[in-house]
Structures are given as structure tokens and as C-alpha cells.
Structure 1
Amino acid sequence: MEKEDLSIDALLNLHFAGRVVRKDLTKLLKEGANVPVYVLEYLLGMYCAVEDEGVIQEGLKTVKQILSDNYVRPDEAEKVKSKIKEIGSYKIIDKVTVKLNEKRDIYEAILSNLGVKGLAVSSDIVKRYEKLLVGGIWCILNLQYYYEEGSKDSPFLISELKPIQMPNLDMNSIFEGRKKFTEDQWLDMMLRSTGLEPTVFEKRVKWHFLARLIPLVENNYNLCELGPRGTGKSHIYKEISPNSILVSGGQTTVANLFYNMSSRKVGLVGVWDTVAFDEVAGIHFKDKDGVQIMKDFMASGSFSRGRDIVNANAAMVFVGNINQSVDTLVKTSHLFAPFPEEMIDSEFF
């Protein structure tokens, strides 16, 4: 059978059976739950990764029911907490962040939407999912309620926690499946995986969109994209991968991004594959040496803090908006005008 004989959809379902999700379904779900797209796709992959329309519709109902029953809306947090108390045990979907309480020598979780903090987390879970410590990750977790009079501990207990992300990837199966596609078909497939419809773009534009994915797969790859507002520049780094983090507003610290001297832990660049800044105009370090450390890291993939030299593999992405045409911007100032002054020099770019 020739590669061109089948449509991309047919090829995907043939060679990647059980791992194909219809993107239009995520849009239907996204409107009702404010969670990243990869969370929705994880759930759809469990119930809707087939071609049969009847099965897909049933699976869609199941996913909607799971989101309705288990996703914690911030405005319904008290209702969910009450349900956990009355039932005794309840499964929820929430973003979980873990911090070390040095005074008590235990790890404690914070549930973003539920608004609960101080939940004890075992060291085994933290070692298995280190991203809990930096930025947090979306999880399906089972909460129990046990109140003990006089205890300072939270009555909420985590009995089970499972990150919402794909299990280990078999790259050999990907390589084998790739052989069944032409270059153009594979390019279109990758764009569709990000939520874009390739048939409406020229090939040059397709390659531009594909370039946004490079930081997700290449270590220490630094990328800057400046363009008009509302063109999806930051969408890639926030929605499609559980291995990238978007720093909104640009406000951060050296301890958070690079290295915390007191806890001796590497920051975001040591835990995430990609660290993206949503608005370059707002990038600001509370520490005076922040920009210089960033320059050092981007140039060499390492930086020094105290007596330590730290290596990390994270790619750095800078996304910014320009309010004029490129021609006007070049005539009146320069292309990097959206960046803060301290970052505009030959050493940085």
C-alpha cells in the first residue's frame, strides 16, 4: 500500500491505534473546564481513542461526567470539601503543588482549585514525580477525610495520586509508524497535534508553527517569538505538554528559576523541559544578578551559585507582543523593543 493512498486520519488510526484523539472534542470539553488541553486529551485517550462514532459519543459522555463529578471548580471548592467530609473518600482532578516543611520534616501539598494546603505527601510520591515540587502538576487524586481533635494536621489525606500525563513512550513504535507517512503528511500530523488545521496554511507558515515545538524536544534550545497579539504564541507551552511551564507576567526570582541557596535545590530550569516567559516586556528579576545568570545559562547550559556550578537542560522561550508592523518597528526602533532594557545587548542576543 502506498503512503498516499490513505488520509492522515486513516493512517493515524491504522498505525497508532488507541493513541489518536479528535481535537474538536477537546474544544467541546475545554469550554466547561479550565484545565490544560493535555489533561483533556489524556481523558479522551482513555475513552475516545477509536474511529467508531458511537463509541466516541459514549466516551465523550463519560469524560464529561468525570469532569462534572471530579474536576474542582474554584467557585465550588467548599461544596467539594463538604462532599469529601460527608462521604469520607472522594476522587478529584486538581493541580497539586508540593513544598517541604522543614520545621516538621514532611512534604505538604497545596491543591490549587480546592484551596486546601498542608496535606501530608509521602516521600515516595515526591521522588517519583519531582515536578510536584516546582510549578505543580495536574493530577487525579483520591482524598479522604479524617478529623482528629487537637491535631494540627489537615483532616484531608491523599490516599492515591496519579499525574495526568501519558505513560512511558515507546519511541521505536513511533519510528516505525513514521515510516508509513510522507514528510508532508507527518508535518500536517504534528501541527494537528497542537490544535492547528494545516490545510489552511502555506508550507512556509507550517514550518514556522513547527519551529515553536523545537524547545520541547531539544535541550538548551533558546527561542524568541515576537508578533501580534492573539496569534497563539504562548498556547503551545501552556496547553499541549505537561513538561513545559509558562511563567505568566515575567515576574520571577533567581531562587525560583535557577537555584535556591537555602534549600540547595535547582529551580524551574532543572525540572521542566521548557521554561517560557509569556510577556517579555514584563520580565523582571527581584535579584540584581538575575539577567546575568540567565545569559550565562542560555550560553552554556550551566550557571554558578555560591560554590556550585549547576547544569540544566531546559530550553528558554521568550514570547512577546508587538503593536506595530515589522516595517514600522524597524524604522522607528528595533525588533527587540518589547524586551526590558537590561536584556537588550549583543551578549544576550
Structure 2
Amino acid sequence: MSDLNAKINAHFAGFVVRKDLVKAVKGNAIVPTYVLEYLLGQYCATDDEASIETGIDTVKDILRKHYVHRNEAGLIQSTIRERGRYKVIDRISVALNEKTDAYEATFENLSIKRVGVDSVTVKANPKLLVSGVWCIADVQYEHSEDARVSPWLIEALKPIQIASIDFEGFVEARRAFTTEEWIDVLLQSIGFDPAAFGKRSKLLQLMRLIPFVERNYNLIELGPKGTGKSHVYSEFSPHGQLISGGEVSVPKLFVNNSNGRIGLVGFWDVVAFDEFAGREKSANKALVDIMKNYMANKTFSRGITPIGAEASFAFVGNTAHNVPYMLKNSDLFEELPPQFHDSAFIDRLHAYLPGWEVDVIRAEMFTTGFGFIVDYLAEILRHLRGDDLSHRHQAFFAVGPQISTRDRDAIHKTMSGLMKLLFPAGGETEAEVEELLRLAMESRKRVKDQLKRIDSTYPPVDFHFVSKAGRKVVVTTLEEDEFPQFYYLHAASEPKLRSQIGEEGEAAPAEREEQNSKGASAAVVTKPPSSEAKEGHFVFAENRKGITFDKLFGPYLRGATKIVVTDPYIRLFYQVRNVMELVETVIRLKAPEEQVAMQLVTFPDSVNPEKQADNLNAIMTACEGTGVTFTWAFDGTGTGHARHITTDTGWKISLDRGLDIFQQYAMNDAFNLANRLQEHRAVKQFEVTYLRV
């Protein structure tokens, strides 16, 4: 067990579960994760292997006996009849039969309707009246000669969720974890392995939780297929409801005028719209109008009296094109249905989560470590909805005065959500707040910049914040720095924006580089170096793509006959592969008749030095006959930590991460573009400095 997993079990005993156990017990049961983890939490909330094995068997037995499969509905109905009563796990909804003045339940998988349920049960669980709720229920069968009377009755019903939580105990236990550890705990709790993600990618995953912790929060995420956009909203919490974008109506979402029944927003913490994108889709104008009013004012009305609610909205959908295509030809909201591709609707979104930065989910991304039982964490997040931490960052920073009230409110709400997730007990540092504030402002700036494309009446806004010491930090989006030639394309007539574009269509980095030299955070993003070798310092944001060794090193290695790479961490296979790819860059750059001597200076691997030597020798063999002579040696001092490349043409390239600039990708997949082409890989955050020596 890792140190983090041991720490989780020590401070949250009984409230955590090993996340890979869900797959072990699920079988062919089509139930949400929180249902399975509720059961696992009853029997497997321990780190004792023997108890876990026994608990798994118990949960499997419960599912085998009591979970209702649709194709076995008839068998279970017969069992209930023969025994008189039987316990089932099913999704149950309730409706009032006005003719009989009685509540009647419908069991989704068991395929029975008109099941009698008493008023006390319904009052205790009002969500049963809105949509299905997963429950454990004792169903009774009593045949009657009166055909009008249903033989089915609910004797007892219990929604699958934790009854109570100790919030103060949760907050106190949080203090035992560093910020980095806590982020990893949350990531493991939603099922992912923290080692497969960079810092920014982890925060993007956690942003999906903000609607659960922040009232009336409106989040949109558009991106490629297969990135898990809807997973959190369908599997993570019993307080969220995922609906298809095409299945929503005014009565279902807000209020039914015919009977006065309140819709989803009155009962659920989060209403998520799956498959929201699609230009061929259409939406009812009345629905769009009432949604816009609710998103802006937290109220809705279809009669005389306005009704307040606190449900957050999450809109998720797929994009048909990549980011540069959208920026060049339309905007980042191009896939929305026409009725929602409207400036008034878009302006009410607090944050745009860039789904194109989220990796397609692969098997190795899932964790085998411990995380919170999702239902426990869902109750914690629900408790935090009542807090307001939207101004806590102001102890360190002030948002730029030019930013409008609506933009400011959006930034504050995103910050409040992030602070609740990461710092419910306080204790945040200035550097930590700055990182979160950048992300919150960037998420709103992405909305505002696209609004300027859609509606020219929106003015340009200088998104920045200022520290107490007077340091101004300009915020840009990642795609703004990666594709400046397209980002400003549709607004180039505006003097402010035109001044940001250089002769070749790239954003002028002078202002941001100047701030970096004054001590701004390393998250500052600048454009990559030009094709001409010049001195300079560059900072690259996490998740950026399009970065290759050819672009980074090509101008500085061209013409060199001797190249020395110093990097103490060339030990694992992927690190040696990075060296091989640098060799490939040198081979592409040099003329066929030129001879280049390339040497690597590194440290021995303490775990498997033989394998390290074999891999490095394999590079030497591969270089034979190419005009590049590759050699390697261990640093004799054993104390150096510098990472740099030097050439006999007078250049020194200092690298804070060495050659290890790329995030994990599928190395064994020959048909994965990230495996084949460096420009399709997302990078880690890193810095590079070019010096004349």
C-alpha cells in the first residue's frame, strides 16, 4: 500500500474503499457506481485484505439475490408471490394516482407498476416524485379479488445513500494532507490514478465537481468523444441527475402548469444535460427563455409567483472539429443547437471547461488505490453548498477593475467551488490561490472571448488580477497562446486586439515575458521560440500540444558537430525513448555527409541498471551508419542535478525537466497519433532557457 493510501485509511477509516473493487463486484449489473460503492462501504471499507475478500463475496451475494435484471423480472415477480415478500434493489419512481388519492410506485427493472406506497415514505423521499431513485425495498404481494386493487405493496423502502456525516471530523482530517495529496485523494475518489495526470489536468477533472458544491453554478464542457464528460454526473452522486439534451421539457425541468408539480431543478443539486451539442438539434423557445432567466436570477416562473431553486446546470457535448478549425472558421460554441448559440444564453455560463485538453479515457488511467465512498463525498459536497468562499482569494489578489459584474461573479463562483473542494479547512497559500485564480479567470475568459466573436457589441476585456504587492498577472487561455493566428482572427479590426498580433500572426509575448521576469508564476504562457536561434526564456503551460523536439531544439542544434546532453534521470524506458527521439531530431537536421558526435551524461538506475544500459546501448547500435555517433556515460561525481544540452556552436539549452516534457501516452499503441507524432502529445508544464556561452 502506498503512503497516500495508508494515510487515507488512517484518517478516514470506514469512509474509503479500494476503487477497483467496483469492477470486481459489478458483473453485468447495470447500476451506478454510487450504488455499488454504497454496498462496498457497508462491507469493504477497510484495508484488511481478508475482510475485503469476505466483503466482496457478501456484496456479490446481495447483488445476485436482490438486484433485479430486466430479463429476470418475471422470475423475481414469481419469487415475491411465492414468498409473500422479497427484498429488491431497483430504480423506483412514484406518482400520485388522483383517482384513488394514493401514491403508486413504478419499479424500473422489475417492470411492475401501481405498487402501493404510504405517504410517510413519499414525504421522507420527495425525489421519488420527480424521477427514479435507486433504493433497497421490501416488496409485498397480496392478491385481492378486487381487480382495481394492485397486489403489490412496498413494506419498507430505503434510498441508497449515507444517512449522516460528521462534517467537522472531515474538515479536521483534511488538515493532515498537503494540497497535492488532497488533490490526489479527490482524483482517486472519482476513480482515476493521479500518476496518469498532470497538475492542470487534475484540476480540470475536479472542476467537474464544482456544480455539486456550488449552488446555481453553470458549467459547460465541450470536447472530443470518450473523455468521460458525463461520467461524474451519471455515476458520482445520488444528488445529480443526467438527462439527454433532447429529452428535456419545461414541465420536466421547471414546473408543470397543469398540476403545479415542480420539476428537476427543485429537487436535485445538479441537472446535467448530456449530448447537449448538435447543430441539427432544436430546442423549444419557451424552454430556452426560462432557462436563461433561471441561470441569471436563480428563479423561474410560469405563472404569477416566481419560484426560487438552487440546482446547478452542467452542459456536456461533443465537438466535431478541433480547436484551430473552430477558431479559424467559427467559435468554440459552434456545436451548440441554434437556439442555444445565443449570446444571452452563453453569457450566463460561469465557466467553459476545455474538453479537448482532457485525454480519452484509457484502462491504465483508472486507480487501484483508495478513495472516498462516492456517496460519502457527495454528502460532504452537498453540505458545503451552503458555504460561500467566493471572496477568500481577495486576501491575496484583486481582480482587474475593468472586468464586468457578470464576469466577476462567474470568477468568484468558480473560485468558491475550487476553494471548497481543496481548502474546506482553510490554510491555502498565495501561490496556491494564484494557480486556482488563473484557472477560474481563464474559464470565464474562454466564454467572454467567444462572445465577442458571436456578438460584436461585447467589448474586449483585459482579464488580469493584481497581487497585494502590486504585481499584475495577465490571464490568457491555453488555446489563445497555442493558436494566436486564429484566436484573434475574427476580431482583428479592433485596435487592442490587432496590436497583440505580430507580423506572422503570432501573439506578441512581450508583456507576458516582462511580467515573468518580474516574478510571475511559472504558469505564465509564452509563444514557442522562432525558427531563428536566439537567446531567451520560455514557459510552456501544461496540456499544450504542438511542441516537438524539432521546434524546441532544431535551430540550436543545426550545424553542431558535438552535442552533450546532461540529464541525471534517463533511467526508465520512456526516458530513454526521449533520448532516442532527440537523436532522430539530430539525424533529420544534419546533412547526409555531416558527422555528429552526441554524448549523454546521466546517473545509474539504482533499481535496474542492467536494463538501463541495454536500452542506451540499443540507441548506440541504432545510430550506426547514420552519421551520428551516440555514446553515453555515468556522471562520475554522482551529485549533479542540472539538465541541459550544450553544443560546440556555443549554445546552452537549460531544461528544468530535461527531455521529460511529455505527459503519459499510449506507447504500446502503434495506431495512436501521440505515439507516432510528438505534436499530438500534451506536454507537462516546463521551462527552457537558451544561452550563448
TM-score range, shorter chain: over 0.9
Structure 2 unaligned spans of 5+: 347-693
Residue aligning to 2:444: none
**What secondary structure does 2:306 align onto?**
strand
1:121 pairs with one of 104, 112, 117: 117
Residue aligning to 2:685: none
> Which stretch shows the higher mean deviation, 249-258 or 311-320?
249-258
Residue aligning to 1:197: 193
Decide whether the 8 Å contact of 1:119 with 1:153 is kept in 2: no
1:277 pairs with one of 230, 253, 273: 273
Question: Shift of residue 266 of structure 1?
Answer: 1.5
**What secondary structure does 1:251 align onto?**
coil
Residue aligning to 1:39: 35
Separation of aligned partners in 2, 1:125 and 1:266: 19
Question: Shift of residue 24 of structure 1?
Answer: 0.1
Residue aligning to 2:49: 53
Residue aligning to 2:316: 319
**What secondary structure does 2:29 align onto?**
coil
Decide whether the 8 Å contact of 1:144 with 1:159 is kept in 2: yes
Aligned residue identity for 1:323: A
Superposed CA deviations along residues 62-119 of structure 1, whole A, max 9, x for unmatched, are 0000000000000110010011111111100000001111121111100000010101
Question: Shift of residue 32 of structure 1?
Answer: 2.4
* 1:69 counterpart = 2:68: no
Residue aligning to 1:343: 340
* 1:14 counterpart = 2:10: yes
Question: Shift of residue 145 of structure 1?
Answer: 0.8
Decide whether the 8 Å contact of 1:252 with 1:284 is kept in 2: no
Q: TM-score, normalised by structure 2?
A: 0.49
Question: Shift of residue 284 of structure 1?
Answer: 5.0
Residue aligning to 1:3: none
* 1:295 counterpart = 2:301: no
Aligned residue identity for 1:207: L
> Which stretch shows the higher mean deviation, 298-307 or 71-80?
298-307
Separation of aligned partners in 2, 1:235 and 1:131: 21
**What secondary structure does 2:22 align onto?**
helix
Decide whether the 8 Å contact of 2:144 with 2:150 is kept in 1: no
> Which stretch shows the higher mean deviation, 146-155 or 74-83?
146-155
Aligned residue identity for 2:217: Y
Structure 1 unaligned spans of 5+: 1-5
* 1:306 counterpart = 2:297: no
> Which stretch shows the higher mean deviation, 108-117 or 27-36?
27-36
Residue aligning to 1:267: 263
Separation of aligned partners in 1, 2:266 and 2:192: 30
1:152 pairs with one of 140, 148, 152: 148
Question: Shift of residue 197 of structure 1?
Answer: 1.1
**What secondary structure does 1:205 align onto?**
helix
Separation of aligned partners in 2, 1:235 and 1:341: 26
* 1:83 counterpart = 2:79: yes
Separation of aligned partners in 2, 1:321 and 1:130: 33
2:205 pairs with one of 199, 206, 209: 209
Decide whether the 8 Å contact of 2:277 with 2:319 is kept in 1: no
Superposed CA deviations along residues 173-210 of structure 1, whole A, max 9, x for unmatched, are 11011011111111111111111111110000000000
Separation of aligned partners in 1, 2:192 and 2:123: 36
**What secondary structure does 1:168 align onto?**
coil
**What secondary structure does 1:242 align onto?**
coil
Question: Shift of residue 306 of structure 1?
Answer: 0.9
Question: Shift of residue 263 of structure 1?
Answer: 1.8
Residue aligning to 1:136: 132
Paired residue total: 343
Aligned residue identity for 1:342: Q
Aligned residue identity for 1:55: S
Decide whether the 8 Å contact of 1:251 with 1:284 is kept in 2: no
Separation of aligned partners in 2, 1:84 and 1:284: 45
> Which stretch shows the higher mean deviation, 40-49 or 258-267?
258-267
Separation of aligned partners in 1, 2:295 and 2:175: 35
Aligned residue identity for 1:255: P
Greater C-alpha radius of gyration = 2
**What secondary structure does 1:342 align onto?**
coil
The 4+ residue runs of structure 1 with deviation greater than 4 A are: 282-285
Aligned residue identity for 1:95: R
**What secondary structure does 1:90 align onto?**
strand
User: Structure 2 vs 1, CA of residues 78 and 318 (structure 1 numbering), >3 Å: closer, same or farther?
Assistant: same
Q: CA RMSD for the aligned pairs?
A: 1.2
Residue aligning to 2:328: 331
